[in-house]
């Protein structure tokens, strides 16, 4: 059965809707209390009287309403207004009744956002058209003239569906953050007094949510300490989200940390939760925090103090609950004194400080780690390597390991790969000259000069290849680039 309405009757109905909205506001709110101020609705219809009536009817009950008579403007509103529900007329040309224009609009909407919530409305309805609309991807269907209570209930349900989709996306992001995280405790290999102190501190902090600052040279295993802290905490079954601030350009910091809404910038085709939002309920690990600019330090501090964030392109605030762990190889106290790091942020992240010792100060831990890596990579690459000769152990023990555990790991992996014997021999290891010899040749203990000379040596050895030089130095390519910029100043 079809409902055929003249344009005059539709306008008359729209006027009655206006009167209804004025006189029965409280009654409608009682029928649909969940509709109150929830959701953003975009209404698309060629009849301005209908748009006026719906705007007046919906405004008291939803967050925002936008209306347009031009279907060509839908994509613009989806990008800039980001509606939760689109209430879409099916016919825009005069005397059109087949609904093809509406289906074409629906196709464009779903191409831009496959999860868009679209509710069709038309004065010309039949069962076949309703079935076709649902199959095409519409969420629901209302006919003109609409029943006011039913329309509000339908839109309330559609708004709830949109909210549910957002929650599911957030849960999926948190599940993705959990994927690949081992259920067993990370292996903290080492029996030296310095490492025993680190382990004892980790266990003492198990029942607390105190913010932790992990200090240590590059390659000492600060990320492993952070994961151990998470494993021993009450948040072990919640997400652990890690951000290497040394590898994220400043222009992307806000979008990575706080997330963004669809349309916030040119390539933001969908909304995305930031790392801080994804980590809510769990642990957020900010590695290389000493690389953060003062402007970004201010934004991070505001989020930590207010315990809430706003996505780019949104005015809504989102509460966050994270246990914060930071790490750096920089001397933050010196940076504070030089005005390069905010003192208030330093105190905010530094409730407890853990110093991870360099490998050269860990004694026999060098050989314990070497045996662990030999076994690991022999298994990985299906090699028959069983261990180290006595001379090889002596050579590894005497080497100062400027790149710390990371350098030892890469050295063992490379040597196992190239080995053709059952034991790794001293001559199998190609190690850099020891820093003591470098010091004798330069005759200086000035840290800045030593660092400059070390970087220059790494660049010469890598023939100017930044990635290779960064690997020699045990740092990220971005960190090396930052250091080179400072040296040129």
Delimiting residues of CATH 3.40.50.300 domain(s) in the chain = 193-355
Burial grade of 171 (CB within 10 A; 0-12, 13-18, 19 or more): exposed
CATH code, residues 432-489 = 1.10.10
pLDDT score at 95: 60
- CATH 3.40.50.1260 for domain 359-430: no
pLDDT score at 12: 54
Report the mean per-residue pLDDT for the chain: 82
d(CA 403, CA 422): 27
Delimiting residues of CATH 3.40.50.2300 domain(s) in the chain = 7-168
Write the CB contacts of 138 (distance below 8 Å, at least 6 apart in sequence): 106, 118, 119, 120
The H-or-E segment that residue 326 falls in is: strand 323-328
User: For the chain, first and last CA: distance in Å?
Assistant: 79
Write the CB contacts of 206 (distance below 8 Å, at least 6 apart in sequence): 232, 233, 234
Instruction: Count, in order, helices (H) and strands (E) of the chain.
Output: 21, 16
d(CA 429, CA 370): 12
Strand 140-143 versus strand 118-122 pairing type: parallel
Burial grade of 265 (CB within 10 A; 0-12, 13-18, 19 or more): exposed
Angle at 245 between CA 320 and CA 413, to 5 degrees: 120
d(CA 388, CA 6): 92
Residue 70: CA atoms inside 13 Å, Cβ hemisphere, count? 5
The CA-based dihedral angle spanning residues 48, 50, 56, 57, taken in that order and rounded to the nearest 10 degrees: -170
The answer to whether 407 and 366 have CB atoms below 8 angstroms apart is no
Instruction: Name the residue with higher pLDDT: 79 or 85.
Output: 85
d(CA 159, CA 164): 9
- In what side-by-side order are the strands of the sheet with 212-215? 240-244, 283-287, 323-328, 212-215, 352-355
In CATH terms, the superfamily for domain 7-168 is: Response regulator (3.40.50.2300)
The answer to whether 190 and 369 have CB atoms below 8 angstroms apart is yes
Per-residue pLDDT reduced to its tens digit, 344-367: 999 999 999 999 999 999 999 999
Q: Which of 466, 463, 398 is CA-nearest to residue 432?
A: 398
Long-range contacts of residues 64-70, Cβ cutoff 8 Å, at least 24 apart? 64/40, 65/40, 65/41, 66/40, 66/41, 66/42, 67/42, 67/43, 68/42, 68/43, 68/44, 69/44, 69/45
d(CA 441, CA 429): 24
- Give percent of the chain above pLDDT 70: 84
- State the pLDDT confidence band at 438, using cuts at 50, 70 and 90: very low
Per-residue pLDDT reduced to its tens digit, 250-265: 888 888 899 888 777 7
Long-range contacts of residues 231-236, Cβ cutoff 8 Å, at least 24 apart? 231/185, 231/186, 232/185, 232/202, 232/203, 232/205, 232/206, 233/205, 233/206, 233/207, 233/208, 233/209, 233/283, 233/323, 234/206, 234/207, 234/209, 235/209, 235/281, 235/282, 235/283, 235/323
Q: What is the arithmetic mean of pLDDT over 302-321?
A: 90
Among 26-35, 45-54, 166-175, 321-330, top mean pLDDT goes to 321-330
d(CA 193, CA 199): 10
Ramachandran category for residue 334: left, alpha or beta (phi over 0 → left; psi -120 to 50 → alpha): alpha
What is the token pair recorded at 245?
């601030």
Q: What is the arithmetic mean of pLDDT over 113-137?
A: 82
The answer to whether 392 and 428 have CB atoms below 8 angstroms apart is yes
85 bridge partner residues: 41
Which residue in the block uniquely carries the two structure tokens 């261990």? 387
Q: Answer yes or no: is pLDDT of 433 > 80.
A: no
Question: Is-cis flag, bond preceding 484, omega within 30?
Answer: no
Say how many C-beta atoms besides its own lie within 10 A of residue 206's C-beta: 12
Q: Answer yes or no: is pLDDT of 1 > 90.
A: no
The answer to whether 476 and 247 have CB atoms below 8 angstroms apart is yes
- The DSSP call for residue 73 is G
d(CA 220, CA 407): 9
**CATH class (in words) of the domain with range 193-355:** alpha beta
- State the pLDDT confidence band at 215, using cuts at 50, 70 and 90: very high
What is the token pair recorded at 137?
């991807």
pLDDT score at 8: 53
């Amino acid at each position: 059965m079809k409902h055929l309405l003249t344009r005059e009757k539709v306008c008359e109905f729209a006027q009655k809707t206006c009167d209804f909205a004025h006189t029965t506001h409280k009654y409608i709110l009682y029928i649909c209390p969940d509709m109150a101020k929830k959701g953003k609705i975009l209404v698309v219809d060629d009849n301005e009287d209908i748009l006026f009536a719906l705007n007046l009817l919906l405004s008291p009950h939803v967050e925002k309403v936008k209306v347009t008579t031009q279907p060509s403007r839908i994509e613009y509103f989806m990008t800039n207004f980001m509606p939760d529900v689109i209430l879409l007329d099916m016919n825009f040309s005069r005397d059109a009744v087949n609904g093809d224009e509406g289906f074409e609009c629906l196709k464009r909407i779903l191409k831009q956002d496959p999860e868009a919530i679209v509710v069709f409305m038309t004065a010309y309805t039949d069962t076949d058209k309703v079935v076709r609309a649902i199959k095409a991807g519409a969420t629901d269907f209302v006919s003109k003239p609409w029943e006011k209570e039913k329309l509000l209930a339908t839109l309330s349900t559609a708004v709830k569906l949109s909210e549910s989709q957002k929650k599911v996306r957030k849960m999926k992001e948190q599940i993705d953050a959990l994927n690949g995280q081992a259920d067993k405790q990370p292996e903290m290999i080492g029996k030296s007094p310095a490492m025993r102190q680190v382990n004892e501190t980790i266990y003492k902090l198990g029942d607390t949510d105190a913010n932790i600052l992990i200090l240590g040279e590059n390659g000492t295993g600060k990320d492993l300490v952070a994961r151990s802290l998470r494993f021993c905490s009450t948040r072990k079954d919640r997400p652990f989200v890690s951000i290497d601030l040394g590898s994220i350009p400043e222009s992307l910091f806000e979008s990575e940390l706080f997330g963004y809404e669809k349309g916030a910038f040119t390539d933001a085709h969908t909304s995305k939760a930031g790392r801080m939002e994804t980590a809510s309920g769990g642990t957020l690990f900010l590695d290389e925090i000493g690389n953060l600019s003062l402007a970004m330090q201010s934004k991070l501090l505001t989020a930590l103090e207010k315990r809430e964030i706003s996505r780019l392109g949104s005015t809504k605030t989102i509460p966050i609950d994270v246990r914060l762990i930071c790490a750096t190889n920089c001397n933050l106290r010196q940076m504070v004194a030089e005005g390069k790091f905010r003192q208030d942020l330093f105190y905010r992240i530094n409730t407890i400080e853990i110093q991870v010792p360099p490998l050269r100060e860990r004694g026999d831990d060098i050989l314990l780690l070497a045996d662990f890596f030999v076994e690991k990579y022999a298994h990985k690459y299906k090699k028959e390597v069983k261990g180290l000769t006595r001379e090889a152990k002596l050579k590894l023990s005497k080497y100062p390991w400027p790149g710390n555990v990371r350098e030892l790991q890469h050295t063992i992996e490379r040597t196992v790969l190239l080995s053709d014997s059952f034991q790794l021999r001293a001559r199998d290891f190609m190690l850099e000259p020891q820093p003591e010899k470098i010091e004798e040749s330069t005759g200086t203990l000035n840290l800045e000069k030593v660092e400059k000379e070390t970087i220059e040596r790494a660049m010469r050895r890598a023939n100017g290849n930044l990635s290779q030089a960064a690997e020699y130095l045990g740092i990220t390519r971005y960190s090396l680039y930052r250091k080179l910029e400072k040296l040129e100043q």
